[in-house]
A and B are shown apart, each in its own frame.
Chain A
């Protein structure tokens, strides 16, 4: 079974530029998460989708971050404009049930963003 795919793996941008990250979850997983992991810290939830609806975006800085999950499959996270403190690894994860069994969370390899 294919894992959670993320792209790009690395991105370097200047502050005030915009950037977008893409995530393709495990096939059939209804729930998709975006996390921000700053160096030396644990992942922090930015947004959670259930199918194509937002379940929790309470920690998403909505003045500069946006995310969508069209058709309940792939998702895109955007930052515009970027700040230096946005330098982090952005992790995508998915979870779901299959025939009533909880298969837990699967994480992608992440996108490492450096803002200079």
Chain B
């Protein structure tokens, strides 16, 4: 079936460090891929997305590239800030009109 696997957390970094959160997926066909973020006490917010192979999604300094050959969609940021501390979820939609399938989430904690 369709599924998403994320690296286990928590991830603890110092401010300005480089961030990578790994995400791999299993899906039939050509899914769309998403990263969502959940800040403490808030709801899920779309961070970025990519709808086809080799697409790069980007937002707020975060980037992720849809790699079909490795079935991956790793999230990266060159220099994290304390305000990036949150839980990050990788998700896929295997076809239009279907629900999102989420990974387990990765908690990021950034200290100054």
Contact = CB atoms under 8 A, between A and B. Distances in A.
Interface of A: 31, 33, 40-45, 48, 50, 55-56, 91, 93, 102, 104-105, 107-110
**Interface size class for chain B?**
10 to 19
B43 A31 contact: no
B23 to A, nearest CB: 11
Given A42-B104, A42-B105, A107 B99 contact: no
B43 A107 contact: yes
A91 B100 CA distance: 12
A108 B99 contact: no
Contacts of B96: 102
B99 A56 contact: yes
Contact of A42 (B43, B46, B97, B102): B102
A107 B97 contact: no
